[in-house]
Amino acid sequence: MSKLPIFPLTARVSNQGHLIVGGCDTVELATEFGTPLYIFDEFSLRSKCTEFREQFGRRYKNILIIYAAKAFINRALALILNEEGLGLDVVSGGELGIAQSVGFPLDRVYFHGNNKSAEEIRLALKWRVGRIVVDNFYELAMLDKMANEQGYIPDILLRLSPGVDPHTHKYIATGVVDSKFGFPLSSGEEAIAQAMSASNLNLVGLDFHLGSLIFDAEPYQQAIELIVNLAAEMKDKYGFELKELNVGGGFAIQYSLDSPAPPVSLYAEVITSKIVSKCRELKLILPRLIIEPGRAIVGQAGVALYKVGVVKDIPGIRCYVSVDGGMADNIRPALYGAKYEAVVANKLLEKEAGEVTIAGKFCESGDIIVKGINLPPVSAGDIIAIPSCGAYCLPLASNYNASLKPAVTLVKEGKVRLIRQRETFDDLTRCDLV
């Protein structure tokens, strides 16, 4: 079965058997920019933005799509997202600073975080971010006080943890009862009452985020049911108006041939129909809907390229193909047991010759990128391309073994643009004091 459909939408094979993305030959890109190299396909990126806008927009009028910056953000990407009319979910002063540095409209920024610092809150208030998503009682009190000091009343959402199991890896399930994120549903009433009576805060709605890589849309329905029920109760009791409902992100993408992801249209249908029916049943006005996709926007657009070095065959055991990157630029296999596909980018027309394991170059036995994959004969100098690397690889990258974080390029219609340069040895010592 062809692996091309997991690669960016523009992926094709050249006559020479090279992987082409965005009209650029990936083997040439690897030579020009060095490896490991991350490439992003601008067409795939923008198509996903359009797909979310259209699929949700045609079913629900009042909607804002905000991209979850934690999946990957840099200045060039922030500019593209702005052109696409998306908002931004940030979780730190750093992400907020990147957005601000390119003039991203901060009224479309939602500020999340389970332990925002006073400095971060001060910055968010000073820069008038669109919404502060309040996570807990401590933050609620601190924000009220700081807003008073700054003489500015921010619009806020309250993040609730609905206690719904999203059936994903436990490290990326967030909306369960035992979670560090959000007000447990059982204290939702108290949170709403406190927020409504805080004189320096304007409560506009509620928020939940169930987790990430959720292949099943049903948990969203369960959570909407619980949160909208609570909103209706709070309306009766305190006159609370649910003007805005943020259902978070978590939409899955395909990483391997045997785990296809549902289309965006399915999530859109399930989520919007549930909100409409529930609000109708409880006689509530339809709130503005916010969704926060991260992975589903950038995941497929990104490809990681590595160069093969050592090929070590242990007869009867395993053949290790070692490449020049690994867990420092993609920790997901080691951290979550994430499964990836791979191709030899310069040998796409050659037949598979047997199973190999693609290993990284870092000093950990767990530094394996793909365990057991059928590839054509691989030798030193070949270029390995891994699809679905656009989300959560670079943001989780480290300088382990004093390695240099990779260069990042953007490809479009045969043109390439460097959007982040490879780190240098100077970067490694820049903050050191002797």
Active site residues: 363
Cα separation values, 46 from 53, 77, 232, 240, 390, Å: 11, 10, 37, 37, 13
Residue 60's H or E segment, with its range, is none
Nearer to ligand LLP, 18 or 209 (CB): 209
Q: Which parts of 241-260 interact with ligand LLP (CB under 6 A)?
A: 248-251
Q: Which parts of 388-407 interact with ligand LLP (CB under 6 A)?
A: 391-392
Nearer to ligand LLP, 287 or 299 (CB): 299
Stretch that binds ligand LLP, among 37-45, 50-58, 287-295, 319-327 (CB under 6 A): 287-295
Token pair recorded at residue 351: 């037949």
Token pair recorded at residue 264: 């965006």
Nearer to ligand LLP, 368 or 418 (CB): 368
Radius of gyration of the chain (CA): 23
Shortest distance, position 276 Cβ to ligand LLP, whole Å: 22
d(CA 83, CA 46): 9
Q: What are phi and psi of 256, to 5 degrees?
A: -130, 160
Q: Which parts of 184-213 interact with ligand LLP (CB under 6 A)?
A: 209, 212-213
43 CB-near residues (< 8 Å, 6+ apart):
8, 9, 10, 22, 412, 413
Could you give the angle at which helices 137-150 and 188-197 cross, rounded to 10 degrees? 10
Q: Which parts of 311-350 interact with ligand LLP (CB under 6 A)?
A: 332, 336
**Per-residue x/- marks for ligand LLP, 17-56, CB under 6 A?**
----------------------------------------
Contact 41, 21 (CB under 8 A): yes
Shortest distance, position 99 Cβ to ligand LLP, whole Å: 15
Of these, 25, 42, 89, 144, which contacts ligand LLP (CB under 6 A)? 89
Contact 362, 403 (CB under 8 A): yes
With binding defined as CB under 6 A, does residue 70 bind ligand LLP?
yes
215 CB-near residues (< 8 Å, 6+ apart):
167, 168, 252, 259, 261, 262
With binding defined as CB under 6 A, does residue 295 bind ligand LLP?
yes
With binding defined as CB under 6 A, does residue 293 bind ligand LLP?
yes
d(CA 68, CA 336): 20
Shortest distance, position 113 Cβ to ligand LLP, whole Å: 9
Q: Provide DSSP, 370-385.
A: EEEEEES---TT-EEE
d(CA 207, CA 46): 26
Nearer to ligand LLP, 266 or 428 (CB): 266
Stretch that binds ligand LLP, among 226-234, 288-296, 356-364, 416-424 (CB under 6 A): 288-296
Shortest distance, position 420 Cβ to ligand LLP, whole Å: 19
Beta bridge partners of 110: 89, 131
The single-letter DSSP state of residue 180 is: S
Beta bridge partners of 303: 39
Q: What are phi and psi of 137, to 5 degrees?
A: -65, -35
Shortest distance, position 49 Cβ to ligand LLP, whole Å: 13
Nearer to ligand LLP, 73 or 375 (CB): 73
Shortest distance, position 248 Cβ to ligand LLP, whole Å: 5
With binding defined as CB under 6 A, does residue 116 bind ligand LLP?
no
What single letter denotes the amino acid at residue 46?
R
With binding defined as CB under 6 A, does residue 274 bind ligand LLP?
no
Local structure of 175: helix, strand or coil = coil
Nearer to ligand LLP, 178 or 432 (CB): 178
First CA to last CA across the chain, in angstroms? 55
- Judged by CB under 6 A, how many residues of this single chain contact ligand LLP? 23
Q: Which parts of 49-68 interact with ligand LLP (CB under 6 A)?
A: 68
With binding defined as CB under 6 A, does residue 302 bind ligand LLP?
no
- The two counts, helices (H) then strands (E), for the chain are 12, 21
With binding defined as CB under 6 A, does residue 109 bind ligand LLP?
no
Shortest distance, position 278 Cβ to ligand LLP, whole Å: 21
Shortest distance, position 396 Cβ to ligand LLP, whole Å: 6
With binding defined as CB under 6 A, does residue 112 bind ligand LLP?
yes
Of these, 25, 95, 135, 292, which contacts ligand LLP (CB under 6 A)? 292
Shortest distance, position 224 Cβ to ligand LLP, whole Å: 16
Can you list the positions of beta strands (E) in 170-229? 183-184, 202-207
With binding defined as CB under 6 A, does residue 139 bind ligand LLP?
no
List interacting residues with ligand LLP (CB under 6 A).
Answer: 68, 70-71, 89, 112, 172, 174, 209, 212-213, 248-251, 292-296, 332, 336, 391-392
